[in-house]
Structure formats: structure tokens, C-alpha cells
């Protein structure tokens, strides 16, 4: 850890953290709260992915669909209209829509090969965006005079790193300059995330080996060919398994930093509360490692 104890964190003029964990447990809530208070720079990895690294893929997909409409086709060919995604920190729908879901095209599904291509694009983009973190940390200080920095990582960070490798390039780069903070959910949180996802399933990134096992396992269980798969049913079936797959990977990542619970995060209402939360987590981690 880059802070030797909780008091060193409290006294530091440059507080720098990477928040990670399952989507829906408070990463973006904390990052937005800190940013809005005016003394923290908020770096959103998902926003960086959707603009810098996958923005062209997303816009081209819009154009591909628009070209199917004769009226829009004429306007596009004459450069009379401009099509782009309006992705924001709070609305990442253009990115998730581009990732899509595999399965029956008549149900909005993608051929599995195309789906895997987009998954691989996301993997490369996420690694690049994570490695951009130190650049934005220095940019925040140089341009905006903000020494406090929060990296709001995506839920899939654990899928693009090797948490058991002490020389993993992404985790090494992050932990060199920032404190890794795992927001850990309980079984009740996991159950609620599954229920929420079941109501409104959305595309997400999966580790290639996990995705391949899930794709085969689902089709065997359902007795379905690739073009018969219900896309929404597949990602619902896969989601809870993905959370279970990610949990030990998050836990391994947390050995490089500290852990806070989603319940603790829910009690944070100000930057001062956040400072107290992380100070307690640092001291708790040090104590646990000494015993």
C-alpha cells in the first residue's frame, strides 16, 4: 500500500484510490460525490473505454444500422447528418448496446463470433484505459490543480488482469501510484444484483475462458443451437455465474490494497466520511496482516 497507515492517509495532500468491485455497489456513487465536492478528480474507466478506445466502433455500428434506412442512407452518403454516441459518466448505454448479446438475430442477438470480436475489443480497450490512469492522475494535477484522484473502474477489471500474478502489468501500474479499494458485497447484495439484472438484463464483458464455458454449458442445458439461443435468457443464466466467478478474483486483487463493505459505503455522505472510511480500512488491513 502507498500509505503506511490510516494517519498517513489522513494527512496526505494527495489521496489517490482505485475503486473496484461488482457494478451496483457504490463505486460511481462515491466517485461522483467526491468529484462534486470540488477537490477530487474523477476518472471513469468505462467512460474512457467508450470514448477514446471504442467510440469509433460504437459510432460505426450506429451508421451501419442507419444505412439500412433509405432516408438516412442518402443523408449519410451526402454527409448531411452526423451520427455519434452521447455517452456520459451516468449513461454508458452506447457502450453496452454495442457489446450486445449472443444468440438468435430475430431476438436482437449477435452471431457468437461477432460477439466474441466485440468482447475482445472491449478487453483491449479496458486494459488500455486502466493503464491510462497514471496519465490522468498527473493531468488532473497539472491542468486542474487537483491532487486527490479517484479511479472509478468497471466491474470487469478482475477479468482483464491476473490477480494471482505479482507482476501483472495493470495491477502493478495501478498499485504503484494508487490505493486499491475493494467494495465487497454481501450475499444479500449479490442476490439483489441478480434480481435487478433479471428485471433489466444488459450486456457486459466476460473473461474469454469463462464465456466459452458458459456458452457451451447453456446450449447443452437448453438443447439449443447457436442461432436458437434467446439472448436475454443466456445473459440472465450467465450473470449469477459471472458474479461467483469474479468474487475470488476481486478478493485476490484486494490483497494489494484494502477492503470496505457495501454497507460501509452506504454510510458515506461526504469526502470527510470517505477519508475516515479509508483510514479505518487501512488500519484494519495492517492489523489483520500482523495477526
**Long-range own/partner contacts, residues 27-33 (CB < 8 A, 24 or more apart):** 27/152, 27/153, 27/183, 28/89, 28/90, 28/152, 29/265, 30/150, 30/152, 30/265, 30/268, 30/274, 31/150, 31/152, 32/89, 32/90, 33/268, 33/269, 33/270, 33/271, 33/274
Domain assignment of residue 174, yes or no: yes
More confident residue, 227 or 201: 227
CATH number for the domain including 166?
Answer: 3.40.50
Domain assignment of residue 218, yes or no: yes
Domain assignment of residue 184, yes or no: yes
Find, among 223, 232, 287, 219, the residue nearest to 258 by Cα: 287
Domain assignment of residue 149, yes or no: yes
Domain assignment of residue 131, yes or no: yes
> Which positions ≥6 away from 131 have C-beta within 8 Å?
169, 170, 173
pTM score: 0.93
Domain assignment of residue 135, yes or no: yes
Q: How far apart are CA 213 and CA 238, in angstroms?
A: 10
Q: Is 108 left (phi over 0), alpha (psi -120 to 50) or beta?
A: left
Q: Which of 39-53, 81-95, 238-252, 255-269 is predicted with the least confidence, judged by mean pLDDT?
A: 81-95
**Does the pLDDT at position 291 exceed 80?**
no
Domain assignment of residue 105, yes or no: yes
Q: Give residue 268's domain range.
A: 10-43+98-276
Find, among 47, 81, 53, the residue nearest to 66 by Cα: 81
Instruction: Over range 280-284, report the average pLDDT.
Output: 97
Number of domains in the chain: 1
Amino acid at each position: 500500500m502507498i500509505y503506511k497507515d490510516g494517519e498517513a492517509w489522513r494527512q496526505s495532500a494527495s489521496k489517490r484510490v482505485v475503486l473496484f468491485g461488482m457494478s451496483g455497489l457504490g463505486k460511481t456513487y462515491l466517485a461522483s460525490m467526491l468529484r462534486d465536492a470540488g477537490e477530487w478528480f474523477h476518472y471513469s474507466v468505462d467512460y474512457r473505454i467508450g470514448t477514446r478506445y471504442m467510440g469509433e466502433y460504437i459510432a460505426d455500428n450506429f451508421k451501419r444500422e442507419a444505412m439500412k434506412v433509405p432516408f438516412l442512407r442518402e443523408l449519410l452518403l451526402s454527409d448531411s447528418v452526423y451520427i455519434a454516441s452521447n455517452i456520459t459518466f451516468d449513461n454508458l448505454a452506447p457502450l453496452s448496446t454495442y457489446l450486445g448479446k449472443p444468440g438468435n438475430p430475430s431476438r436482437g442477438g449477435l452471431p457468437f463470433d461477432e460477439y466474441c470480436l466485440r468482447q475482445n475489443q472491449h478487453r483491449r480497450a479496458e486494459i488500455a484505459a486502466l493503464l491510462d490512469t497514471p496519465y490522468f492522475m498527473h493531468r488532473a494535477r497539472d491542468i486542474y490543480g487537483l491532487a486527490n484522484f479517484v479511479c472509478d473502474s468497471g466491474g470487469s477489471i478482475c477479468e482483464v488482469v491476473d490477480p494471482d500474478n505479482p507482476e501483472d502489468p495493470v495491477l502493478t501500474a495501478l498499485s504503484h501510484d494508487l490505493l486499491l479499494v475493494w467494495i465487497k458485497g454481501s450475499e444479500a447484495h449479490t442476490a439483489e444484483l441478480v434480481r435487478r439484472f433479471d428485471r433489466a438484463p444488459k450486456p457486459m464483458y466476460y473473461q474469454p475462458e469463462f464465456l466459452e464455458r458458459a456458452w457451451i454449458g447453456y446450449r447443452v442445458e437448453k438443447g439449443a443451437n447457436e442461432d436458437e439461443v434467446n439472448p436475454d435468457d443466456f445473459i440472465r443464466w450467465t450473470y449469477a455465474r459471472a458474479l461467483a466467478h469474479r468474487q475470488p478474483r476481486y478478493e485476490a486483487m484486494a490483497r494489494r490494497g484494502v477492503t470496505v463493505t457495501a454497507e460501509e459505503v452506504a454510510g458515506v455522505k461526504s469526502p470527510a466520511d470517505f477519508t475516515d472510511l479509508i483510514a479505518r480500512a487501512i488500519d484494519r488491513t495492517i492489523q489483520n496482516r500482523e495477526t
